[in-house]
């Protein structure tokens, strides 16, 4: 049996960094709180011992209030790890110990791993690790999660395995009546320490209450009454007891910097978070990201495109097979051309995430999100992640604390332009807009997505979802220069997903499209595809793109948005897409089409994750709502454009 070791700790302290280093896996790492939302395990061995390591979501406490806290509490209750490595941030020990104490109240075998020491030392913190260990009664190890070698930590893990330290207790738990109750609990409950059960009862945890029988609950109620008479509110009693202990621990083992020290991050934030400069800076950053994505990727993209055209031609003349040349090379090639752009986009988004700017973007957007959307700025983080892919973006809504905001954010994230929509913009703008306007057209589409998302939040929020709004309560991490290695791994992982998708979903989709467009005959009236397209095309007539090709492209785009382009590639051949688009669309019609592609139904994978996070009813709602929104907005764009004379 491998040794079961869990990594617990506050958000953003480096748990996943440590996990990746030890297991060689690639969990999401970034510089903002709340990345890991599901537990993930990995196996490795150290000096002949197999270790099963578990990366838990970051939490501030163990009160199963939000989904990620529930994951951690469930895990502790059900799985009983051999050892918990509690990762803490050296410059934030007081707050981090609040969770560590709760893990120790539970009675779990614990090691404290103090991370981010170098950064803390630069800021003027000095942690006396031995002193802290003596005071706490558990091993305290100094680590640097980014370092490849973690022998000291792992040796401590092996040494500590099998021990069972006394659970942490507080002064009020030493009273006779309380002790008697704890003994009674101890006889009936296995797993968590009686002290932890008692504390949860005092905190009013309904789930723990349901684990206990009448006798205990009756006794508890009497004791709670006495405690209330003596100390006041029992929840406060517990919190005070913890803070009291933490104060003593810190006093005895940490030297803090002088109070008036201004950190580098604070200086940067004076500009970046400035009331007037914050928003222009955010817009500028986004503009730069999208410009770099489109322009820096273009030369390589052209090379690849040329390669695919030549390949398609020679394959077609050599084999005479339209299936190979048009179906496969045309469909898949049309999408593969965008690999450079996609990699650059992922690289830049990772940079924003890792530097600490993403958390600032949420802060800057808080006021706008609040007044216009009735949502907190916290929801802007999933929205920004949606520029990469909406699936992980929607998963990341789990750390939003109110259910109303969680569901609402899942519903609006699909309006963000994910990377799959990028090929559509590039091809259509390149075909129909002069060079100097292209960047602005694309940028406007991204902004339109954000605007529609925020307005939708306002429209849907109070009408459909009751409940509390969440406040913007998120700590701003310090700025860090991202490590190139981390960025490249990040980019690679996400980029590979894109390539995989091209080799599977897009390939299969392209084959289906090729088949349907060539049988029974080819053309509008003879092929299945043409007939299908012609049947639904009238729906899009008022929006300016009533041709069967666009209708068909949109239907396949529902499976994966890249298939919009694959459809054109398969029908016209990889090298001829631009010319084909010029033949079918005017610039205004193309704009209307791009707006539709931006807003209409989330792809199947995204709907799947909305169903998982919010339920099938909301997934269906999202489908219908986004279709309607896309139709209305495209109609407005097209009609307005026509009226102005385009």
Ligand X SMILES: Nc1nc2c(ncn2[C@@H]2O[C@H](COP(=O)(O)OP(=O)(O)OP(=O)(O)O)[C@@H](O)[C@H]2O)c(=O)[nH]1
CA 527 to chain centroid, in Å, comes to 42
**CA 645/CA 544 separation, integer angstroms:** 14
Residue 125: left (phi > 0), alpha (psi -120 to 50), or beta?
beta
Q: Which residues contact 89 (CB under 8 A, 6 or more apart)?
A: 10, 12, 13, 14, 96, 115, 116, 120
CA distance 31 to 118: 16
Pick between residue 57 and residue 587 the one whose CB is nearest to ligand X. 57
Pick one of 5, 33, 598, 609: the residue that binds ligand X (CB under 6 A). 33
Position 34 contacts ligand X (CB under 6 A)? yes
Closest distance to Mg ion from the beta carbon of 383 (Å): 20
Stretch that binds ligand X, among 31-39, 183-191, 298-306, 402-410 (CB under 6 A): 31-39
Q: Is the CB of 15 or the CB of 406 nearer to ligand X?
A: 15
Q: Which does 31 bind (CB under 5 to 8 A by kind): ligand X, Mg ion, none?
A: ligand X
Question: Does 144 help bind ligand X (rule: CB under 6 A)?
Answer: yes
Q: Which of 5, 6, 17, 553 binds ligand X (CB under 6 A)?
A: 17
Q: Cα 18 to the chain's mean position, in Å?
A: 19
C-alpha distance from residue 313 to each of 150, 320, 573 (Å): 55, 10, 9
Nearest CB to ligand X, comparing residues 203 and 475: 475
Closest to ligand X by CB, 29 or 637: 29
Residue 30 is a binding residue for ligand X (CB under 6 A): yes
Choices 4-12, 287-295, 308-316, 327-335 (CB under 6 A): range interacting with ligand X: 4-12
Bridge partner list, 8: 86
Find the binder of ligand X among 116, 465, 560, 614 (CB under 6 A). Answer: 116
The CA distance from 248 to 79, in Å, is: 32
Sheet containing 49-55: order of strands? 40-46, 49-55, 3-9, 83-89, 110-115, 140-142
Shortest spacing between CB 23 and ligand X, in angstroms: 13
- 386 makes contact with ligand X (CB under 6 A): no
Burial class (CB in 10 A: 0-12, 13-18, 19+), 39: middle
Residue 402 binding: pick among Mg ion, ligand X, none (C-beta 5-8 Å cut-off by kind): none
Contact between 36 and ligand X per CB under 6 A: yes
Task: Specify the DSSP class assigned to residue 481.
Answer: P
CB of 51 to ligand X, least distance (A): 18
Is the CB of 30 or the CB of 382 nearer to ligand X? 30
List the single partner that 116 binds among Mg ion, ligand X, none, CB under 5 to 8 Å by kind. ligand X
Q: How far is the CB of 358 from ligand X (least distance, A)?
A: 10
Per CB under 6 A, does 67 bind ligand X?
Answer: no
From ligand X, Mg ion, none, interface partner of 11 (C-beta below 5 to 8 A by class):
ligand X
Closest distance of CB 174 from Mg ion, Å: 37
Q: Select the residue interacting with ligand X from 115, 341, 397, 622 (CB under 6 A).
A: 115
Residues paired with residue 114 on neighbouring β-strands, in sequence order? 88, 142
Segment interacting with Mg ion (CB under 5 A) among 11-19, 132-140, 363-371, 620-628: 11-19
Nearer to ligand X, 354 or 366 (CB): 354
144 binds, options Mg ion, ligand X, none, Cβ within 5 to 8 A by partner type: ligand X
Q: Element (H or E) spanning 202, and its range?
A: helix 194-202
Residue 33 near which of ligand X, Mg ion, none (CB within 5-8 Å, type-dependent): ligand X
Instruction: Kindly tell me which residue out of 3, 90, 113, 145 binds ligand X, with binding defined by CB under 6 A.
Output: 145
Which listed range, 144-152, 380-388, 406-414, 507-515, lies at the site for ligand X (CB under 6 A)? Answer: 144-152
Binding residue (CB under 5 A) for Mg ion from 6, 10, 16, 22: 16
CA end-to-end span of the chain, whole Å?
A: 71
- Element spanning 53, H or E: strand 49-55
Q: What is the sign, positive or negative, of the torsion defined by CA atoms of 485, 486, 492, 493? A: positive
How far is the C-alpha of 345 from the C-alpha of 388, rounded, in Å? 7
Torsion of the alpha carbons at 456, 466, 210 and 39, rounded to the nearest 10:
10
* 415 touches 449 (CB < 8 A): yes
Helix, strand, coil share of the chain (percent; to 5): 70, 5, 25
**Per-residue contact flags (x/-) with ligand X for residues 330 to 369, judged by CB under 6 A:** ------------------------x---------------
Contact 37, 396 (CB under 8 A): yes
Task: State the nearest-atom distance from the C-beta of 529 to ligand X, in Å.
Answer: 45
CB proximity list for 377: less than 8 A, separation 6 or greater: 362, 363, 364, 365, 366, 367, 369, 370, 472, 474
Count of positions on this chain that bind ligand X (CB under 6 A): 26
478 binds ligand X (CB under 6 A): no
CA distances from 323 to 91, 314, 507, 556, 571 (A): 61, 13, 12, 18, 11
Pick 36 or 527: Cβ nearer Mg ion = 36
Counting runs of H as helices and runs of E as strands, what totals does the chain give? 31, 8
The H or E element containing residue 112 is strand 110-115
Nearest approach, Cβ of 561 to ligand X (angstroms)? 28
Candidate residues 6, 16, 120, 533; the one interacting with ligand X per rule CB under 6 A: 16
Contact 37, 381 (CB under 8 A): no
The option from Mg ion, ligand X, none interacting with 30 (CB < 5 to 8 A, set by class) reads: ligand X
Of 75 and 625, nearer to Mg ion (C-beta) is: 75
In whole angstroms, how close is the CB of 431 to ligand X at the nearest point? 40
Tell me: does residue 35 bind ligand X (CB under 6 A).
yes
The answer to whether residue 36 forms part of the interface with Mg ion (CB under 5 A) is: yes
The residue among 15 and 200 lying less far from ligand X, judged by its C-beta, is 15
- Residues lying near Mg ion in the complex (CB under 5 A) are found at 15-16, 35-36
Contact residues for ligand X (CB under 6 A)?
9, 11-17, 29-31, 33-36, 57-58, 115-116, 119, 144-146, 354, 480, 486
């Amino acid at each position: 049996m491998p040794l079961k070791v869990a990594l617990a700790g506050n958000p953003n302290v480096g748990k996943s960094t440590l996990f990746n280093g030890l297991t060689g896996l690639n969990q999401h790492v970034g510089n903002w709180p709340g990345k890991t939302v599901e537990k993930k395990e990995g196996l490795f061995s150290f000096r002949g011992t197999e270790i099963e390591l578990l990366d838990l979501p970051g939490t501030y406490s163990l009160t199963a209030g939000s989904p990620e806290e529930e994951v951690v509490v469930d895990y502790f209750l059900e799985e009983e790890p051999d050892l918990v490595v509690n990762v803490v941030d050296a410059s934030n020990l007081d707050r981090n110990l609040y969770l560590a104490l709760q893990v120790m109240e539970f009675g779990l075998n614990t090691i404290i791993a103090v991370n981010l020491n170098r950064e803390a030392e630069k800021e003027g913190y000095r942690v006396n690790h031995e002193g802290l260990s003596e005071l706490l009664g558990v091993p305290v190890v100094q680590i640097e999660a980014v370092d490849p070698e973690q022998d000291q930590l792992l040796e401590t893990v092996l040494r500590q395995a099998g021990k069972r330290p006394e659970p942490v207790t507080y002064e009020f738990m030493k009273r006779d009546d309380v002790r008697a109750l704890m003994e009674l609990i101890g006889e009936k409950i296995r797993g968590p320490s009686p002290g932890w059960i008692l504390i949860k009862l005092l905190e009013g945890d309904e789930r723990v209450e349901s684990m206990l029988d009448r006798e205990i609950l009756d006794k508890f109620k009497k004791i709670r009454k006495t405690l209330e008479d003596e100390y006041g509110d029992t929840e406060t009693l517990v919190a005070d007891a913890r803070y009291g202990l933490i104060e003593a621990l810190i006093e005895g083992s940490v030297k803090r910097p002088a109070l008036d020290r201004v950190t580098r991050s604070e200086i940067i934030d004076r500009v970046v978070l400035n009331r007037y400069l914050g928003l222009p800076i955010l817009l500028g950053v986004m503009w730069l990201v999208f410009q770099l994505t489109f322009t820096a990727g273009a030369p390589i993209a052209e090379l690849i495109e040329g390669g695919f055209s030549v390949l398609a031609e020679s394959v077609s003349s050599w084999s005479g097979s339209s299936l190979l040349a048009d179906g496969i090379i045309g469909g898949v090639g049309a999408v593969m051309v965008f690999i450079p752009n996609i990699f650059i986009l992922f690289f830049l988004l990772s940079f924003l995430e890792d530097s600490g700017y993403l958390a600032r973007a949420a802060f800057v957007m808080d006021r706008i999100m609040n007044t216009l959307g009735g949502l907190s700025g916290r929801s802007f983080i999933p929205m920004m992640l949606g520029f990469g892919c909406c699936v992980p973006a929607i998963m990341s809504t789990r750390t939003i604390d109110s259910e109303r905001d969680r569901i609402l954010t899942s519903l609006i994230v699909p309006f963000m332009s994910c990377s799959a929509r990028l090929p559509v913009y590039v091809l259509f703008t390149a075909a129909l807009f002069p060079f100097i306007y292209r960047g602005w057209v694309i940028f406007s589409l991204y902004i339109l997505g954000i605007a529609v998302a925020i307005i939708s939040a306002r429209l849907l929020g109070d009408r459909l979802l009751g409940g509390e709004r969440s406040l913007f309560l998120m700590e701003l991490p310090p700025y860090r220069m991202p490590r190139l290695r981390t960025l490249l791994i990040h980019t690679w992982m996400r980029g590979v997903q894109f390539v995989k998708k091209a080799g599977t979903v897009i390939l299969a989709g392209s084959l289906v499209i090729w088949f349907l467009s060539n049988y029974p005959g080819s053309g509008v009236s003879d092929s299945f595809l043409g007939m299908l397209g012609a049947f639904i095309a009238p729906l899009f007539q008022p929006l300016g793109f009533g041709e069967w090709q666009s209708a068909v492209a949109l239907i396949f785009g529902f499976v994966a948005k890249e298939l919009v382009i694959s459809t054109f590639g398969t029908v016209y051949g990889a090298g001829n897409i631009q010319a084909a688009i010029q033949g079918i669309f005017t610039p205004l019609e193309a704009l209307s089409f791009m707006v539709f592609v931006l807003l209409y139904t989330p792809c199947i994978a995204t709907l799947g994750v909305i169903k998982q996070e919010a339920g099938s009813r909301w997934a269906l709602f999202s489908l219908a709502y986004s279709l309607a929104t896309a139709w209305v907005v495209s109609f407005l764009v097209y009609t307005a454009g026509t009226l102005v004379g385009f």
